[in-house]
Structure 1
C-alpha cells in the first residue's frame, strides 16, 4: 500500500487560554511534534491584548476578519482583513485587538511556536 504524502488536520490542538482568545494549532509542537513550523487559526475577542514579548521565532500573521493591532518596537501598526505581516524573531512586539469586533487570523511561526521561546514580559 502506498503511503500518503499529505496530512489532513481535522482535530487541531486547542490551546487553553484564560483571556477569551481561541487558539487552534493545526500543525506544530503541540499537535504533531513539528518543531520547524506551526500553523494556528486564532480568534482574538474585542478588547483583547497580551503583554509585550520578544519571540525567538519569525511570526507571519494573515488577517481573515476584523482588525489586529501590533506595537512593534515603538511603532503601532494596524492590519485589516486581507493583509498580512511578517515580524522577525527577536523583535519586541505586543499583539492586541482594541477594536469592537473579533479578529480572526492565521499565525505561522518558524521555528514552531513554543511558550519557552516567546519571552513574554510581565504585565
Structure 2
C-alpha cells in the first residue's frame, strides 16, 4: 500500500489571541511542523489592529470579505473582498481593521509564520 500523497486539514490549530482575532492555522509550524509555508484562515473584528512589525517572511493576504488596512513603509493601503497583496519580508507593516465589519481573509507566509520571525514593535 502506498503512502497518501495529500493531506486534508479538517482540524486547524486555533491560535490563542487576546484581541478578538480568530486565527485558524491549517498548515505551518503549529499544525504540521512545516517551516517553509503557513496557511491560515483569519477573522479580524471591527476596530482590531496590531503593532507595527518587520517580519522575516513574505506574507500574502487574500481578502474574502470586509476590508483590511495595511500601512506599509508609511503608505496606507486598503484592500477589499476579492483583492490580494504580497508584502515582501523585512518590510515594516501594520495590519488593522478600522472599519465597522469583520474582515475575513487568508494569510500565507513563506517561510512559515513564527513569533520569532515577526519582529513586532513594543
Instruction: Identify the TM-score tier after normalising by the shorter chain.
Output: over 0.9
Q: Which structure 2 residues correspond to residues 1-123 of structure 1 after superposition, within 5 A?
A: 1-122=1-122
Query: How high is the TM-score relative to the length of structure 2?
Result: 0.99
Q: Distance in 1 between matches of 2:35 and 2:73?
A: 26
Question: Normalised by the size of structure 1, how large is the TM-score?
Answer: 0.99
Deviation >6 Å, runs of 4+: none
Gaps of 5+ in 2: none
**Secondary structure, in 3 states, of the residue corresponding to 1:3?**
coil
| 2:51 counterpart SS class | coil
**Partners in 2 of 1:112 and 1:2 — Cα distance?**
28
**Aligned-partner Cα distance in 2 for 1:69–1:76:** 7
Aligned-residue CA RMSD in angstroms?
0.3
